[in-house]
Amino acid sequence: MQVMRGWVTRYAPWVGLVSILGTTQHALAGEYEGSPQVAEFVGEMTRDYGFAGEQLMGVFREAERKQSILDAISKPAERVKQWNEYRPMFITDARIARGVDFWRQHEAVLARAEQEYGVPAQVIVSIIGVETFFGRNTGNYRVIDALSTLGFDYPPRAEFFRKELREFLLLAREEQVDPLTLKGSYAGAMGLPQFMPSSFRAYAVDFDGDGHINIWTNPDDAIGSVASYFKRHGWVAGEPVVSRADVRGEQVDDGLTTGIEPTKTAGELRALGWSSHDALRDDMPVTAFRLEGDNGPEYWMGLQNFYAITRYNRSVMYAMAVHQLSEQLVQARGVK
């Protein structure tokens, strides 16, 4: 992450006169030179957010349309994996071992995040482990290329990605970083926790107090930002995540939730033949789901903290992988 001075001298102050970049790069017109869509976008950023239009055009002259990004986002979806296929992708000895090392290395910061936000250290570690294998796989695309390609050349979701492009340019200005240097996934997700730019601006925090938020190479800020995200999405300190259920009778499947929102109650499920392994209040909202495990169907009730995990990725299996990896981390580390 190239911070501060490189950005300031090259692009500052973002408003006012034409920048050095804008005046010297005309001869190096890129793939977005002359694009009506880009011109309209730059006009909006100039009018609504005070960017200097020529400076911004200088950025887009260097942005590159990536066919590999369009191929990745357009490829047919894989067959939906069952839980007994999905779980082994994330619950591995290597990921657990690396997670324990990460936890030990950043123990003090994780403890402070848990104290300030109420989110257990193991859940924070697990998210970073599932998302990027603790920083090993953070993405190799320039974010400006990813969001420009998808915002201007992928009509099905152009509106969404242009919004993220706007948020990205705003965060670059706010954090005084060069937008041409920041990297992420093909969809523009960034850093150790893979935040989209809108999530960065809404939830990321300067957890080490150095005046900048750096989720790319600063684990302290990444840890604090994950904790902040979960707190803002309803994590309840000290509460469980899921409860395993035993089932019997012919109405069991009537209790399954459509979607991931907690639209059932524990009491309603009991009336349909669900028996929780834990003491749950009858009025407790739950997400009721079935997974295909190694030994047959598994029935689960997801509680409020489970729903909070699905705010990160709208998938029941994702949330279960995060939760079970966090349990394995605790067991491997030998703490309660």
Tell whether the torsion through CA atoms of 8, 11, 17 and 18 is positive or negative.
Answer: positive
CB 245 within 8 A of CB 275: yes
Query: Under CATH, which number does the domain 5-62+139-189 receive?
Result: 1.10.8.350
Per the residue annotation, which of 31, 131, 167, 175 is the catalytic one? 131
Domain range list for the chain? 5-62+139-189
* Spans in the chain with pLDDT lower than 50: 3-29, 336
Pair type for strands 264-265 and 285-293: antiparallel
Based on the residue annotation, tell me whether 131 is a catalytic residue of this protein. Answer: yes
Alpha carbon distance 283, 262 (integer Å): 11
Listing DSSP states for 62-114 in one string gives H----HHHHHHHHSPPPPPPPHHHHHHHHS-HHHHHHHHHHHHHTHHHHHHHH
**Residue 320 tokens, joined:** 């279960």
Q: State the pLDDT at residue 1.
A: 55
What 3-state class would DSSP assign to 143? helix
CB 140 within 8 A of CB 162: no
Q: State the pLDDT at residue 248.
A: 97
**Residue 310 tokens, joined:** 């699905």
CB 267 within 8 A of CB 286: no
pTM comes to 0.91
Q: State the pLDDT at residue 125.
A: 98
Q: Cis ω on the peptide bond leading into residue 13 (within 30° of 0)?
A: yes
CB 230 within 8 A of CB 194: no
**Residue 138 tokens, joined:** 């953070």
Alpha-carbon distances, residue 104 vs 101, 133, 250, 334 (angstroms): 5, 16, 48, 12
CB 118 within 8 A of CB 309: no
CB 303 within 8 A of CB 310: no
What 3-state class would DSSP assign to 216? coil
Q: Pick from 126, 307, 123, 283: which is nearest to 233 by CA? A: 307
One-letter amino acid for residue 9 of the chain: T
Q: State the pLDDT at residue 67.
A: 96
**Residue 302 tokens, joined:** 């997801």
Sheet containing 296-302: order of strands: 264-265, 285-293, 296-302, 242-247, 274-276
Alpha-carbon distances, residue 58 vs 5, 61, 298 (angstroms): 18, 5, 55
The owner of tokens 């657990």 is 96
